[in-house]
Every structure is written in structure tokens, then in C-alpha cells.
Structure 1
Amino acid sequence: MQEQPLVSIIIPTFNRAHLIGGTLDSVLAQTYTNWECIVVDDGSTDGTEALLEAYIANDNRFQFHKRPDTHLHGGNGARNYGFEVSKGEFIQWFDSDDLMVPEKIEIKVKTILDYNVDFVISQTQYFNREKGGEYTYNFKAEEVSFISYVTTYISWFTPDLFIKKSFAEKVSFNEVLKAGQEYNFSCKLLLKTTSLKKIDKVLTLRRYHDSSIGYKRRENNFSYFKSRLEMYWINYKEIIKLTHNKQFEKYTLLVCLSSYFQGNKKVKMPKGFEIAMVKAFGVKSIYFFGALSTYYLYGKYHFFYLKLK
């Protein structure tokens, strides 16, 4: 390419000094050279800052920022701040423990320009897992819509998304969420545009962690269903202000309700949930209250719950 548009690679990090060097080396190895790599630290107490200073001394395309108090603690706040200081025409969010294949940015820039789309999605796979290393996205670009994303198998990880800054400006990461940031961000993105191209090549090498937050949540049923309900409920409250799509509304509330029931009376129902159910299901909400009654009395709910579906 004779003229290379600037790409902003935004990486949130927290206590990853032992891993982020590999990530930054994979950025340095990119065949596409017009990039800025913005690392936003979320309060690390290890040697992250010293490590970044060494990279910046050798290559001024790297930047190191500390998340300011104007953004909430967590990866989402760091991502949003990184976007605020970015200058690129295109945005590539990435994680501080994953790796880029050398052609990742080059292929994505060429694709988004050649097809004149608003964002592209590429494939990913785990590089440190003997079994189940591949994570293939089997959907087609033309299948992607807001509703298909919400209700079917269509999904992607944040590092696989590459987007025009002009569209990223219309969507931000929800800083209250502790999980499900990809889902929330993509819901909002797909309400703005479905102009995309899917690249059927693995361009991200994802690190698998047995000790990851998500893994620990899934190992603990109570924690998993509590987190699942919170994520879908927070997402619901934000998205319902942007669209009153009934299919989204009912599907999301049923996921929340299912998580509540599967929490075995340890998960609390969020404030305002009953009102939301009545608004969404109308007369059929009688089945909701029937399910609650049999759940409290007998620990059963399936008969009335299925009537809502």
C-alpha cells in the first residue's frame, strides 16, 4: 500500500508484565507498519510500566497510559480511555495476553478498504490448548443482524473485531459490566450498522487460562448464574433505551429468568425485573408469576416457564 491509514491498537492491561511482552512483540512483527499501540494500565502493581517504558524507548509507536479516575476500574474503562486518546482511522482492540499473526492488521485494512464496509471480523484460535484449540465462527456475513446476534450462535471475541473509528465513536464499552463486554458492545454496534465482511482466516491467537475469571465463574454454579443474570440484565437496561424490539426484550428477560431459577434460590432477582416482565409479556406474564410461585413452594418452575417461550 502506498498510503497506509493509521490503525490504533488499544490494549487494556492489569498485572500482565509476565505476558504482555509477547503481545507487544506480535504487534512489532506486523507486516503493516502504520500503527499506534496504546496500552492503558488499570492499576497494575507489577513491572508493567517499566516494561512499557523499554518498548517505548525502542519504538515511539507504543504509548503507555494509566486509566484516569474519569473512567471506572476494569478493562472496559481502560478501553474507552484508550479510544479517547487514539488518532487512528481504524480501531483494533486487543488483549494483553493474546498474540497477533504477522499479517493481521494488513489483511484487515485491505479487507475493510476493498469491500468498503464499516467493520470486519476475523477468526481466532487458542494457541496453548491441546484440545479444543480452534474456535471457528461458522456464520456468514449476510446472516449477521442485531436479532440473529442476540438469539443465535453468532458471536465473536473483541480482538477479532476491526472497525472504522467513525463507527466506533457511536458505541462505547459499558464500564459497569464485569463480563459480556463483547456481547454488549456488539449489540449496540449492530443497531448502528450491519455493513461487515467476515475474514475466514485465523488472525488472533488466543491464550487459554484455567485460572481466568470466566473459567472460575463457570466452575461455580452460583457465581456463573449470578454473573449471567447481571450481565444480561445490565445489557437489557441499556439496549432497551435504544430499541424496543420485542424479540430482543423477551429473549433477554427469559435468559435472566432462567439464570435466576438455576441459581437455586441463591441468586437475587434484580430490582424492576417483575415490571419489565409484565411490560414485555402482557397477559402471558401470569405464567411468570405462576413459575415464581411453584419455584418458591416446590423448587419447580419448568411448566410455567415453558409457557412463556
Structure 2
Amino acid sequence: MIEQPLVSIIIPTYNRAHLIGETLDSILAQTYTNWECIVVDDGSTDETEVLLAAYETKDKRFKYYERPDNHLSGGNGARNYGLEVSKGEYIQWFDSDDLMLPKKLELEVNALFTNDVDFVISKTKYFNRKNNSFSNYDFIASDVTFESYAIDYIRWYTPDLMVKRSIISNIKFNELLTAGQEHNFNCKLLLKTNNLFYLNMFLTSRRYSADSIGGERGQSYITHQIKLFEAHWYNYIDLKDKANSDKFNRYSLLQCVQCYLESRNTIPLPNGFMKALKMDYPKRYYFFYLARISNSIFGKYYKFYELIKQNETFNTYGLNKN
């Protein structure tokens, strides 16, 4: 490699003092050394600050910040602030309980630099549980478009992405989202560019934690449906005008319909939802009313749901977050 651009590793954290040390050690072990690690604390009440002070003393490349009040609480606000204070030409998002393989940064930077692309995608697998099927890495770079990612089968995790700062300077994580935030971010990225290199290698070891947001959501089916509804609705609101894709609009709303019905009609419908459904399903939206009635009385909705969905060519399933 001729040049070694600075890589900003941005990590949001909350009460992970018992785990984040392993993450930071895996960063220290990187064969690529021109990096800064921005850790943004989202209000931890454990020993996170003390632990990070020790790492800052050990290596000046570690930098600890507390999320300011002008960003909403949550990982998204912490990531957005981390980007603001970072200085790297390349941005690597990461999570506070995952691990980098030693050559992760080296291989990704080299792929970005030598292939003249805007971003690189690598792969992640769990090291403490069986991998879920929703991360489908069975694609090639030319397969990746906004619709193939937003609607169809292509998926990747947050730590899989290394991207040029210049490309995402105006792209933010939606701070209202508590699920599907990386999906929303990547949709925005793909509306701007799909000039990528796919590094078909597992370079991140992902930790499954039952007490994580995703783990807790997995313990409650109704909560899972509420979070999925929220993710698809905000994605629709964020992107419907920019995407200019009727297929994306219909897909997002149909996912919301499915989540609502799976929750047994318990999810409060947001303002504008029925108007949007009527607009994108002008001849079939009324089947939603019939599905709600059937679901309320009989606990069944599938026949009416299929009448809304008829003639659509996409599958409906949840976003790729445990």
C-alpha cells in the first residue's frame, strides 16, 4: 500500500465496561496502524469512563467522548456525534461488544484504495451463537442497488461497511430509530452511490448478547413487531421522495401492514399511514380494514393480507437485525 489514510473507527457504547475492553484490544491488534478510535458514551452508569481513560493513557489513538444533548439518546445520536468529531478520510462503524480480526482494517483500506471505490463491504459472523439466516452475503458487487438492498435479499451488518468520509458527510443515522438503523443508513448511502468493492471475507466476529437491544427484542414477539413497524415506517418517510420507487413504497407499507396484523392490531398507526396506504395501494387498501376486523374477531388475517399483496413480486420479511 502506497498511502495510509487515517481511518476513524466510531463506536457508540452504553454500560459495556465488562465487554468493550475486548473490542478495544482487537483494535490495538490491527496490522493497519493509522487509525483513531472514537468511543462515544451514551450515558453509561458503569465504569466505562474509567476504563476508557486507561486506554487513552495507553494509546493516544483512543478518544473518549460523551454524547452531547444536541443529539438524541441512543446509538444513532452517538454515531452521528462520533462522525462530527472524527478526522479520518475513511470511516469504520463498529459496535462496543464485537471484535475485529487482526487484518480487518488493512484489507478494507487496501480494497478501498486500490479499487477506486466509495465503500467496501466485508462479512461478519457470530462467535457465540449460530448465525442467523437474514444476513445474505451471497451476492457480487454488481448486484447491489438501492432496490436490491432495500427490498430484496442483499444484507450486511453495520461493522461490514468502511466508507469514504466524503461520501457520507451529508448522511446521518436517523436518531428516532431504535431498530433497522443501519438498514436506513445504507439505503441512504445506496441512493447516493453503489460504487463498492465486496471483500468476500469474514473480518468481524459479532457477539450475541441477550441483554442487548436486539436480544431483548428477540425475547418478545410483540416488541419485535413494533420495532419492525417503526423501522419500515421511518424508512418510508425518510426515503420515499428521494428513492422515487413505487416498488420501495409498496414494500415498506406492506411490511408495516404485516407487523401491525402480527401484533394483533396493537400498534398505534401513525399520522399519515392510511393516507399513504391509500396512495400506494389505491385499489386494494380497503382489504386492510377487512384484515383488521378479521384479526380482531377471529385472530386471522392472512387471506385479506394476500389480497393487498397480490401481484407484488417481492417477499416480505423482517429487517436484518436480531
Q: Is the shorter-chain TM-score for this pair beyond 0.5, marking a shared fold?
A: yes
SS in 2 for 1:259: helix
Overall identity of the aligned pairs, in %:
53
Cα root mean square deviation, aligned: 1.6
Q: State the shift of 1:289 in Å.
A: 3.2
Q: Quick check: 1:6–1:36 contact (8 Å CA) kept in 2?
A: yes
Aligned mates of 1:136, 1:293 — CA distance in 2:
36
How much does 1:128 deviate?
2.2
Query: What corresponds to 1:196 in structure 2?
Result: 196
2-structure distance, mates of 1:220, 1:11: 27
In the alignment, which residue of structure 1 is the partner of 2:173? 173
Can you list the C-alpha shifts for 1:122-180, whole angstroms capped at 9, x where unaligned? Answer: 01111223x44896611221111111112222111101100000111131100000111
Aligned residues, how many?
308
| Post-superposition CA distance 1:216-266 (Å, at most 9, x none) | 222212111111111111111111132231000000100000000111132
1:81 and 1:19 map into 2 onto residues whose CA distance is: 22
Name the counterpart of 1:146.
146
- SS for the counterpart of 1:113 is helix
Unaligned runs of 5+ in 2: 310-322
Distance in 2 (CA, whole Å) between partners of 1:304 and 1:215 is 32
Query: In structure 1, what is the equivalent of residue 251 of structure 2?
Result: 251
Provide runs of 4+ in structure 1 moved above 3 Å: 131-136, 292-300
Question: Do structure 1's residue 205 and structure 2's residue 205 form an aligned pair?
Answer: yes
Residues 136, 153 of structure 2: 8 Å contact kept: no
Given the two structures, how large is their TM-score scaled by the length of structure 1? 0.95
Deviation at 1:63?
0.6
Shift of 1:303: 2.2
Q: Which amino acid aligns with 1:270?
A: P
* Alignment match, 1:92: 92
- Which residues of structure 1 form unaligned runs of 5+? none
- 5 Å-filtered alignment, 1:256-295, equals 256-295=256-295
Pair 1:17–1:258, CA change in 2 (3 A): same
| 1:159 paired residue number | 159
Kept in 2: contact 1:118–1:195 (CA 8 A): yes
Instruction: Please tell me the residue identity of whatever aligns with 1:308.
Output: I
The Cα offsets for residues 3-33 of structure 1, whole Å up to 9 and x where unpaired, read as 3111101111111111111111111111111
Q: Secondary structure at the match of 1:12?
A: strand
Match of 1:52 in 2: 52
Cα deviation, 1:20-68, whole Å, max 9, x if unaligned, reads: 1111111111111111111111111111111111111121111111100
Contact kept? 1:12, 1:42, Cα under 8 Å: yes
TM-score by length of structure 2 reads: 0.91
Q: Distance in 1 between matches of 2:101 and 2:183?
A: 24
SS in 1 for 2:281: helix
Between the aligned partners of 1:261 and 1:35, the Cα distance in structure 2 is 47
CA distance in 1, matches of 2:111, 2:92: 14
Letter in 1 for 2:91: I
Alignment of 1:124-135 (within 5 A): 124-129=124-129, 131-132=130-131
Which is further off, 234-243 or 77-86? 234-243
Counterpart for residue 19 of structure 2: 19
